[in-house]
Structure 1
């Protein structure tokens, strides 16, 4: 099992030693900050709810985000209790404020994909695809900044997409 996680260590150290730089650090910090406290996802849900044409998408996105929050923050993080990478890897430099919760799965990534997956299902691709790209950038920023292991982000992607699918089914949203 230890060799499975070796690639995560190598990726985190590669990002730190070969990719990080002052400009990239600021960009990644800004991207990750968009989803602090679910801000971008909540804003997207509110914007969708206020538009009659996309109100059902907004309802499904809101349900998805609530489900993701409960599953990630109330169940999985505490049940799995995975420590953050900067606690395990003494040579990894954290570039963000130290989170107070556990690492797996990534809540930032989960929230972003919870909303983006619903937008992808229920909106034109000109909106849905960029939403997924922004969610992907948020997930990558979490790895780049040293806050999460890659598998934490992958877990967030899976939970976010799963809750998006469940919300889509629960609300009867039609696939576009």
Structure 2
């Protein structure tokens, strides 16, 4: 099974690297990836929510989900798995952005983006679908730019959803039993 997954990852990356130059798409994917750098877009949203008193708890919850995704993804999992990025294993890949220095698995951009998007969804329900679209664009950009394999993105997606859901449950538990 692991061999099949590796071959699928390599196949997808090989199809992306042989793409024709698509200037608009290249620029769009670089921009989407940039929005996920350091969680910049999510931090801006947190700042707005925290500044607006009725949504302060939502902003703090999103911020906590970003911190947890950073600790778990970048601080723990990446250093346990130590998966090299596609451009490190295939010298034919020329990437359009600065080469990331960290490991590949899981995608930190995807992990944090889906943790934040799902937290927003849990508080705002259907309205927050726009945040899932944004998180998806960030995730897709990481594959397009050949800095992640598809399985890195899938893992980041699943971990982001789990992280935010567990944190949401914990926050609600604390607010019900300790703040009432």
Alignment of 1:41-60 (within 5 A): 41-60=42-61
Alignment of 1:27-42 (within 5 A): 27-42=28-43
CA contact (8 A) 1:68 1:110 kept: yes
Q: CA deviation at 1:15?
A: 2.1
Q: CA deviation at 1:53?
A: 2.5
- My pick for the range that moved more, 4-13 or 114-123, is 4-13
CA contact (8 A) 1:59 1:171 kept: no
- My pick for the range that moved more, 23-32 or 40-49, is 40-49
Alignment of 1:1-176 (within 5 A): 1-18=2-19, 21-126=22-127, 128-172=128-172
Q: CA deviation at 1:10?
A: 1.5
CA contact (8 A) 1:32 1:142 kept: yes
Segments of structure 2 that go 5 or more residues without pairing to the other structure are 176-180
CA contact (8 A) 1:57 1:123 kept: no
Q: CA deviation at 1:40?
A: 1.0
Compute the RMSD of aligned alpha carbons: 1.7
- Count of aligned residue pairs for this structure pair: 173
- 2: CA distance between counterparts of 1:67 and 1:166? 11
Structure 1 stretches of 4+ with a deviation exceeding 3 A read none
Segments of structure 1 that go 5 or more residues without pairing to the other structure are none
**Relative to 1, partners in 2 of residues 1:3 and 1:142: Cα closer, same or farther, differing over 3 Å?**
same
- My pick for the range that moved more, 40-49 or 101-110, is 40-49
CA contact (8 A) 1:117 1:164 kept: yes
- 2: CA distance between counterparts of 1:47 and 1:94? 33
Over alpha carbons, which structure has the higher Rg? 2
Q: CA deviation at 1:29?
A: 0.2
| Partner residue, 2:178 | none
CA contact (8 A) 2:65 2:167 kept: yes
- My pick for the range that moved more, 25-34 or 157-166, is 157-166
**Relative to 1, partners in 2 of residues 1:71 and 1:34: Cα closer, same or farther, differing over 3 Å?**
same
Q: CA deviation at 1:2?
A: 2.3
TM-score scaled to structure 2, two decimals? 0.89
